[in-house]
Chain A
């Protein structure tokens, strides 16, 4: 069965600095996708970024980029120039390309951005 691991329960970063949130995954299938979601204190789940296993380049979305290392099975989220509003819970999720959605989520990393 596929598995997602987020080993950092909490991370601290100063405003305007970059931060990397770790995510490793375990799957034997060659076709899969990786998602990152943000959950602020208000509770909603906000999609940030997606990386497909066959994508040649690392995904980027504004200040978010995904450091995808396929051989190491890692998909770390990099947030550049952190802002106070980035303080939130961040979830990594793995989806198998089975023809339908079957997202498996990690346990999350709580990021706190300090002034």
Chain B
């Protein structure tokens, strides 16, 4: 089954404790990205990757890191989480063409205390 797999689904952590949210897709998509969703703000792009070893900042990259060592994986790293990073996070992937729909993971609800 074609899918984007994110883990974990829920995560509660404390300020400053490094964490990684994993994302993997099985559709051989070139493009992957991370979004965060906050009430009243919709979804905002954090980082995106157009291919292996090619990543770039989205609209709200501060406090986040990503890597794309393999085509299928695109982990999101929070080196020192802060409470303002409490949010619902989505990983997404698609073919390169901009008229292709994004396939979303099931989301990660992160709470930073």
Write the residues of chain A forming the contact surface with B, with a CB cutoff of 8 angstroms. 4, 6, 33, 35, 37, 43-45, 47, 50, 52, 91, 93, 95-108
Residues in A whose Cβ lies below 8 Å from that of B101: 35, 47, 50
| Residue tally, chain B, CB below 8 Å to A | 26
The answer for the CA separation of A95 and B96 in the assembled complex, in Å, is 12
B12 touches A (CB below 8 Å)? no
Residues in A whose Cβ lies below 8 Å from that of B106: 43-44
A84 to chain B, nearest CB (A): 22
The answer for the CA separation of A35 and B103 in the assembled complex, in Å, is 12
In contact, B43 and A105 (Cβ under 8 angstroms): yes
The answer for the CA separation of A32 and B32 in the assembled complex, in Å, is 19
In contact, B88 and A103 (Cβ under 8 angstroms): no
Residues in B whose Cβ lies below 8 Å from that of A102: 45, 48, 98
Of A43, A50, A93, A107, which contacts B41 at CB under 8 A?
Answer: A107
A99 to chain B, nearest CB (A): 7
Of A91, A95, A97, which contacts B43 at CB under 8 A?
Answer: A91
In contact, A99 and B104 (Cβ under 8 angstroms): no
Interface centre among B40, B99, B109 (most CB of A within 10 A): B99
Q: B27-42: contact bitstring with A at CB < 8 Å (1 yes, 0 no)?
A: 0000101010000111
